[in-house]
């Protein structure tokens, strides 16, 4: 049907071209580099480079000067870099073909990660003993004209050798952030460093749990005091597997479902987390495990996405037990997008639809399980668990003295009695014959300060002795309900104190006698 509109195809030829210009990217673009990086994701990007270099050991060092965090150094025992490779590493968005088993993806990771937390990035490397290559980027230079400084080997070779000695290597690479953007908050700097180390150790433990469990790589964190030229004891990163549960919530699970996207099979390992789970593998990053329902997407054993449903379905509390592992990233690569921080994946519309229609491969069609069946099963298991939980006898709320992690688990596992003040646990000087004392008025359980050093191994704090305090809390909490203590309550408390007092005195004597 005629529309009255004539479409004319215009063919452009080279005759209308005066000249060709190569328009370099404005160096000011560096301002946005790493804008969405956290410290954890930035350091993980450096670890990715170490993995690609074949490293088996990585040391991450926080450096302090006058108590303030001033630098971060990452040392690995990988294959090292020659001069051309060092230039490529410092070039922004270098184009190259990444191997199928590589962690690299965009060619901007080192620069974006570094400039997100520092104004100066230095890289020194040796691919062969006595062959040294060093490069340095300053953020101010990059913003102006992207100048890269080539370092004199004599200026850094000794330091590089000393760094590599820390990972028992003679070849490898050192990445160093100076002029850092770390906070300077005087009396709380130590708290910041402790929190940063804890969060980083947890983050790396989750992302690289498969690599760590296979002993392909060992990662340590430490703090180095520049004033004292002394490093603290290194702390190893331990793998935290979000699927490491001793049982499953329902028979037949985990179950493999397959989504078909235009002839490309995408296999998903669908797990049902046991409803009473409370360990670090469920409470990832110390948060409620229900925050991490959804897809866990791996690329070469590195976790790229930690939960989330990618618009396939909604995340609601009823689906807290559903976790799905997707391993074959290469089959997904044409169907997904990944952000430069490697902290999230977006699904194409076609993939989202296909996942929602995924099914299991069963001998009988009647036994086939769909993705919707799986989600419904996860919701039903959690609902049944909640019904059982509501049948439990409520207990008093725990307060200070018990570790926050223990308090969270208590609240998640047992109903809390309403209308009653919480119960606290403290240490207090008591008679040597006594182990504990209950104070109804202040709602405090006191433990004998005399035995604190022995029972904590000398590591004291507000939330010390978590196992002992938890056992005492569970033993005594019921006696803080009601209006008063009757004769039976008092007799029970006296009995506990007598028996536990004898036990702790015996323990004390035993350790003194046997040198414990």
pLDDT in single tens digits along all 516 residues of the chain: 444 444 444 444 557 877 766 556 665 566 666 667 899 999 999 999 999 999 999 999 999 998 889 999 999 999 999 999 999 999 876 554 545 555 554 457 798 899 989 999 999 999 997 899 999 999 888 877 788 999 999 999 999 999 999 999 999 999 999 998 887 765 556 788 888 999 999 999 999 999 999 989 999 999 999 999 999 999 999 999 999 998 899 999 999 999 999 888 999 999 999 988 888 899 899 888 899 999 999 999 999 999 999 999 999 999 999 999 999 788 788 888 887 667 778 999 999 999 999 999 877 777 899 999 999 999 999 998 887 766 678 899 998 888 888 888 888 778 888 888 999 999 999 988 889 999 988 999 999 998 898 888 877 888 888 999 999 999 988 888 877 788 888 888 889 889 988 888 888 888 777 665
Tokens of 3: 């529309």
How many CA atoms lie less than 13 Å away from 54 in the CB half-sphere? 9
Q: Which sequence spans correspond to the domains of the chain?
A: 27-236, 255-387, 404-514
**CA–CA distance, 393 with 391 (Å, rounded to integer):** 6
**Quick one: 211 exposed, middle or buried, by C-beta within 10 A (0-12, 13-18, 19+)?**
buried
3-state secondary structure of 435: coil
What pairing do the DSSP bridges indicate for beta strands 255-261 and 68-76?
unpaired
The whole-angstrom separation of Cα 245 and Cα 248 is 7
DSSP code string of 271-283: EE--TT--STTTS
The tokens 């080997």 sit on which residue?
153
At residue 200, the 3 state secondary structure works out as helix
- CA-CA-CA-CA torsion for 326, 36, 105, 22, nearest 10 degrees? 150
User: Is the CB of residue 394 less than 8 Å from the CB of residue 417?
Assistant: yes
**What is the enclosing helix (H) or strand (E) of 202?**
helix 189-207
Residue 426: φ, ψ to 5°: -135, 165
Task: Please give the pLDDT value at position 391.
Answer: 65
The answer to whether 127 and 140 have CB atoms below 8 angstroms apart is no
The DSSP secondary-structure symbol of 363 reads S
What architecture does CATH give domain 27-236? 2-Layer Sandwich (3.30)
């Amino acid at each position: 049907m005629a529309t009255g509109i004539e479409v004319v195809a215009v063919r452009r030829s080279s005759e209308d071209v005066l000249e060709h210009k190569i328009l370099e990217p404005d160096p000011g673009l560096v301002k946005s580099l790493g804008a969405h990086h956290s410290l954890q994701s930035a350091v993980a990007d450096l670890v990715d480079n170490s993995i690609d270099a074949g490293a088996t050991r990585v040391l991450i060092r926080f450096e302090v000067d006058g108590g303030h965090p001033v630098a971060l150094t990452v040392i690995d025992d990988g294959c090292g870099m020659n001069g051309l490779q060092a230039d490529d590493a410092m070039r922004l968005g270098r184009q190259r073909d990444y191997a199928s088993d590589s962690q690299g993806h965009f060619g901007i990771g080192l620069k974006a990660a570094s400039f997100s937390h520092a104004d100066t990035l230095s890289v020194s490397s040796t691919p062969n003993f006595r062959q040294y290559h060093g490069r340095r980027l300053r953020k101010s230079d990059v913003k102006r004209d992207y100048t890269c400084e080539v370092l004199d080997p004599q200026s850094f070779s000794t330091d590089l050798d000393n760094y590599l000695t820390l990972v028992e290597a003679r070849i490898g690479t050192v990445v160093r952030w100076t002029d850092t953007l770390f906070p300077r908050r005087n009396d709380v700097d130590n708290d910041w460093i402790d929190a940063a180390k804890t969060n980083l150790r947890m983050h790396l433990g989750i992302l690289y749990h498969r690599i760590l469990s296979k002993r392909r790589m060992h990662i340590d964190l430490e703090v180095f005091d520049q004033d004292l030229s002394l490093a603290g004891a290194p702390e190893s990163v331990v793998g935290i597997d979000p699927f490491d549960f001793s049982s499953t919530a329902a028979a037949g699970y985990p179950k493999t479902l397959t989504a078909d996207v235009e002839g490309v099979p995408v296999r998903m390992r669908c797990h049902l987390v046991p409803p009473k789970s409370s360990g670090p593998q469920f409470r990832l990053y110390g948060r409620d495990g229900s925050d991490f329902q959804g897809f866990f997407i791996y690329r070469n054993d590195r976790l790229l996405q930690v939960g989330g449903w990618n618009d396939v379905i909604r995340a609601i509390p009823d689906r807290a037990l559903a976790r799905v592992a997707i391993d074959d990233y290469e089959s997904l690569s044409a169907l997904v997008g990944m952000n430069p921080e490697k902290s999230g994946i977006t699904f194409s519309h076609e993939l989202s639809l296909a996942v929602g229609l995924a099914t299991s491969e069963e001998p009988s069609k009647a036994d086939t399980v769909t993705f919707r069946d799986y989600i419904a099963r996860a919701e039903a298991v959690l609902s049944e668990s909640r019904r059982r939980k509501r049948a439990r006898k409520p207990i008093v709320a725990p307060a200070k003295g018990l570790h926050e992690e223990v308090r969270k688990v208590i609240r998640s596992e047992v109903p809390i009695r309403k209308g009653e003040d919480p119960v606290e646990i403290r240490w207090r000087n008591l008679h040597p014959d006594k182990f504990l004392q209950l104070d109804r008025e202040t709602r405090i359980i006191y433990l004998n300060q005399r035995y604190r050093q022995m029972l904590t191994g000398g590591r004291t704090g507000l939330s010390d002795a978590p196992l002992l305090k938890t056992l005492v809390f569970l033993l005594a909490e019921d006696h803080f309900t009601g209006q008063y203590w009757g004769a039976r309550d008092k007799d029970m408390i006296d009995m506990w104190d007598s028996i536990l007092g004898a036990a702790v005195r015996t323990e004390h004597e035993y350790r003194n006698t046997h040198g414990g």
